Structure 1
Amino acid sequence: MERRVALLGGGFSTDDDGLLDDWMLGQVRAPRPRVCFVPTASGDAPAYVDQFLAAYRSRACEPGVLQLFRRDLDDDDLRTFLLSQDVVYVGGGNTANLLAVWRAHGVDRLLREAFDRGTLLCGISAGANCWAEGSHTDSFGPLTHLSDGLGLLPGSVCPHYDSEPGRRSSYRAAVATRALPAGWAVEDGVGALFTNGRLTDTVTCTPRARLYRVEPDGDEGVRERALPSRLLVPGDGPAEGRPG
């Protein structure tokens, strides 16, 4: 069974073209994949949920939402619901809060089970951070490291590598000092697919955006390597139901 994670540097909440969403859906073999949006990191913000539903109801999929701050499923129904999904798409917000709430409800264990069964796990910002062993985050205010992820993706993740002041230098410092393990820095506009822990596809909807491999190098040094990526254009991914 393939175990897959997709890191997104964009999508329905930030982009108008829908290219990363179409690319992500194109990784699923089901003709109408079931896509569950999990907005825990934003406190289940209603506007975020509405934005997801507006974007995905127009696509060739069956969208759903798991809200934990207004949970209406018992443990058995929660397990049945999550394990029936083809895609779990986690939204942005506070990574530390996300992980704490998931663990309180047992969602972390269910996501591991779904992952082992072949569900594609993906997300943006906090929704990318959560899958790795550790991540770079502003969950506590200032930029810092969080060595407390689910560990489904080996290493660490840093989102917004090119768009938020201080991200690049702070993440590089965390990797150089081994506060975080070597990992993946995601610029806005990038999508990266990992299969069984190995990078198998990298795409971008922004010509200059890149995915970087960042590794410690010597005594508190760091090595940063930009990885090749395919430029997405309209027509990539599922054609049916694309907005516009």
Structure 2
Amino acid sequence: MSKLIVIGGGYNGGDFDKELETTIRGFIQNDKPKVIFIPYASRDFIDNYRSFREIYEGLGCVVDLLEPGKESTLPHADLIYIGRGWTIPLIKTLKDTNAIHFLNQALENGAIVAGFSAGAHSLFSQAGSNEEEIGYTIVEGLGFVQGCIMSHYNYQDRAESFHQLLKKHKIEIGIGLEDHTMLIIEDETARLYSSKEDSKVYEIKQSDSVINIQPLSNHFSINKGKNESL
């Protein structure tokens, strides 16, 4: 069964949390799984990709970096991992390269599609994101999952900016993922995993400009979207 995994962040926000990555690897039954890393959110991804490759090769995986024009390899992967960076250029490149079509095929084949930070944003229908030359804004994602999220929610400036965006755009409910947390989404159910006891995922409800924040339970219902390319 295919899974979507959204990761709020790791160490120092953008560095990988090996416990989260090892947990993701544990979902794959193959002894030598094929993993493809999508770097389209960042122009400066080499060091980040090297760290990723070191972790997953150490976990017995074959790791490849996706290059534009090679998107047809995606349906053959066991794990597709969308990396950190800026959400807007990530979405644009995924659309321009027809990667969305192949992501859908991969999911139909039972692959896991995971997103870290901007990659997590891309999997939802909307996200609160801090974008280059724009600042904090609501961005439209790919809609594999319905809802509005923000990664790195443990940083006060990000949390406060997300609250203001929810009010401004009259979005009733948002989800804030702190670093060291991830949601594992299958069918219409999300399961919370955290590598740190004090790292949580929050539901933020906005009504009449009043914000109410509550930690989410370990299991909760969530609406899987119908991506426009399905």
TM-score (norm 1): 0.80
Aligned residue number for residue 234 of structure 1: none
Distance in 1 (alpha carbons) for counterparts of 2:29 and 2:10: 20
Equivalents in 2 of 1:97, 1:212: separation in Å? Answer: 27
The residue that corresponds to 1:144 in the other structure is: 137
Check 1:10–1:169 CA distance in 2 against 1; reply closer, same or farther (3 A cut): closer
Determine the structure 2 residue equivalent to 1:225: 214
Q: Which runs of 5+ in 1 are unaligned?
A: 231-244
1:7-46 correspondence to structure 2 within 5 Å: 7-10=6-9, 14-15=15-16, 18-43=18-43, 45-46=45-46
Alpha carbons of structure 1 residues 43 and 180: separation in structure 2 relative to 1, 3 Å: farther
Q: 1:202 — aligned with what?
A: 192
Q: How many residues align?
A: 216
- Verify: 1:54 aligned to 2:59, yes or no: no
1:54-103: CA deviation from partner (whole Å, max 9, x where unpaired): 221111222221023xx5x3xxxx32x10001111111001000011111
State the distance in 2 between where 1:11 and 1:59 align: 18
Shift of 1:35: 1.3
Q: How far off is 1:177 after superposition?
A: 4.3
Query: 1:180 and 1:223, CA in 2 relative to 1: closer, same or farther beyond 3 A?
Result: same
Unpaired runs of 5+ residues, structure 2, are 220-230
TM-score, normalization by structure 2 = 0.84
The two structures, once aligned, show a CA RMSD in angstroms of 2.2
CA distance in 1, matches of 2:170, 2:36: 33
Distance 1:149 1:58 in 2: 32
Q: 2:204 aligns with which of 214, 233, 239?
A: 214
CA 1:102–1:44: 2 relative to 1, 3 Å: farther
Deviations 1:166-193 (A, max 9, x none): 2112212322444546232100111211
8 Å CA contact 1:185–1:213 kept in 2: the answer is yes
Question: Matched residue of 2:37: which SS?
Answer: strand
The alignment-based identity, stated in percent, is 22
- 1:7-63 CA-to-partner distances (Å, cap 9, x unmatched) read 113359624x61000111122233332211111111262222222222211112222
Distance verdict in 2 for CA 1:44–1:108, change over 3 Å: farther
